[in-house]
Amino acid sequence: MLPVVGPSKRNPFLPVYQPDLSGNERAYLMEAFDSTWISSRGEFLDRFEAAIASRIEIPYVSAVCNGTAALHLALHCLDLQPGEEVIVPSFTYIASVNTIVQAGAVPVFAEVRAEDWLLDPEDVRRRVTSRTRAIMAVHLYGLPCDMDRLSAIAEEFGCTLIEDCAEALGAKWRGRHVGGFGRVSAWSFFGNKTVTTGEGGLVATTDPALHRRMAIVKGQGMDPDRRYWHVELGFNYRMTNIAAAIGLAQLERLDDILRRKRTIAAQYRTALSQSGVSFQSATAAVESSEWLVTLLLPEGADRDAVMQRMLQEGIETRPVFYCAHNMPPHLRQSLSLPISESIAARGVSLPSYPTLSLEDVLRVCASLTGALQRA
């Protein structure tokens, strides 16, 4: 067994995430600052949008203030009517679900697949009704959903496919970047995301009319050709030039960041192969961004005790998301989604940031293995 070592000067506290800001982040940030263009206009916004559009290979993108705003903006601009339904996994971050309600529609919770923890196309099909307007694919923990089957179902029933790509920058389905399969996709650049702008987000679409509308709505609904003339109800969801400056520097290093994250994920899988934990399993069609290394503890293990023991040894972990249908704002008492519920009860995310060394990974694995033996 690997030796367990607690936090010390040599073995410092390992958080679940910390961004690597060691490239041009500081220089661009200061450039934005010195230019005095610190709000939502400035050259870094244009450069950031151009760089990310080319990276994800989606022609129309619009930077916003966070990923939740991105989802809300996208859903709002689909003009969902009261009573219309959006099928969404219950096992997701709460913003995927909240924004459906905030856009005036009803979330319909679907099951995920045991093997990859992602939206189950067969269950989606079962839940389609005459009121279904959209399906939201959430590429959770950086692993792409089955976009062949979800696209086919959306087409068959005439619904809009939306992609929540908050965790999936760098992820590919059959060699193509996620985000361009649906009509619109939403992204997050929160501090723990693969690329961060501090707080930040993005909407991306292949539809120029939808793009134009989202760009107007994110800026208070103002007519782009007539200042202070508001053509529709809007929000202030704009990103700042300061945030975009950091994001541009981060994007320059995206390949390195992804390479590091994939290496770290592979190291964890190897080191924990005999420990009884299980990971999301990927098919040959997908390339995960390995956003956050997440695993399921064996059935019956006491998750809180494991996490507490690891914390005592200076290692932060985090539980996976609770199922939305079990939480007060979206409670569906009679709904049973056993796979989602089991994953939600057993999942734990481990430190997964790009500067984590092999030594750190082995220390996390030793701590986890020891905690599992005692839990």
Q: How far is the CB of 35 from ligand PLP (least distance, A)?
A: 25
CB of 194 to ligand PLP, least distance (A): 11
> How far apart are the C-alpha atoms of 77 and 219, rounded to whole Å?
13
Measured from the CB of residue 190, what is the shortest distance to ligand PLP in angstroms?
4
CB of 65 to ligand PLP, least distance (A): 9
Residue identified by tokens 């610190």 is 38
Q: CA 336, CA 324: separation in Å to the nearest integer? A: 12
Alpha-carbon dihedral sign for residues 121, 126, 127, 128: positive
Residue 46 three-state SS: helix
Whether 205 and 180 have beta carbons less than 8 Å apart is answered as no
3-class state of residue 293 by DSSP = coil
| Pairwise CA distance, residues 139 & 151, whole Å | 14
Least CB distance to ligand PLP at residue 202 (A): 10
* Nearer Cβ to ligand PLP (137/372): 137
Which has the closest alpha carbon to 163: 175, 176, 151? Answer: 151
**Residue number with CB closer to ligand PLP (173 or 313):** 173
* CB 72 within 8 Å of CB 49: no
Residue number, 167 or 287, with CB nearest to ligand PLP? 167
Give me the least distance between CB of 375 and ligand PLP, in Å please.
27
> Which DSSP string corresponds to 62-106?
EEES-HHHHHHHHHHTTTPPTT-EEEEESSS-HHHHHHHHHTT-E
Q: How far is the CB of 329 from ligand PLP (least distance, A)?
A: 15
In the bound state with ligand PLP, the residue whose beta carbon lies nearer, of 198 and 276, is 198
Which C-beta is closer to ligand PLP: that of 197 or that of 367? 197
Q: Nearer Cβ to ligand PLP, position 121 or 201?
A: 201
- Binding residues (CB under 6 A) for ligand PLP: these are 66-68, 71, 92-93, 95-96, 138, 164, 166-167, 188, 190, 201
Q: How far is the CB of 130 from ligand PLP (least distance, A)?
A: 28
Question: Could you give the 3-state DSSP secondary structure of residue 150?
Answer: helix
Residue nearest to ligand PLP as judged by C-beta position: 67
Nearest to 240 by CA among 27, 66, 69, 18: 66
Rounded to a whole number of angstroms, the minimum distance from the CB of residue 158 to ligand PLP is 25
Shortest distance, position 239 Cβ to ligand PLP, whole Å: 11
Q: Residues with Cβ < 8 Å from 124, sequence gap 6 or more?
A: 87, 110, 135, 150, 153
173 phi/psi in degrees, rounded to 5: -115, 120
Spell 249-282 as b/e; 16+ CB within 10 A means b: bbbebbeebbebbbebbebbeebbeeeebbbbee
DSSP for 124-147 reads HHHH--TTEEEEEEE-GGGPPP-H
Nearer to ligand PLP, 80 or 97 (CB): 97
Q: Which is nearer to ligand PLP, 164 or 360 (CB)?
A: 164
Q: In terms of CB distance, is 138 or 271 closer to ligand PLP?
A: 138
Q: Which is nearer to ligand PLP, 132 or 188 (CB)?
A: 188
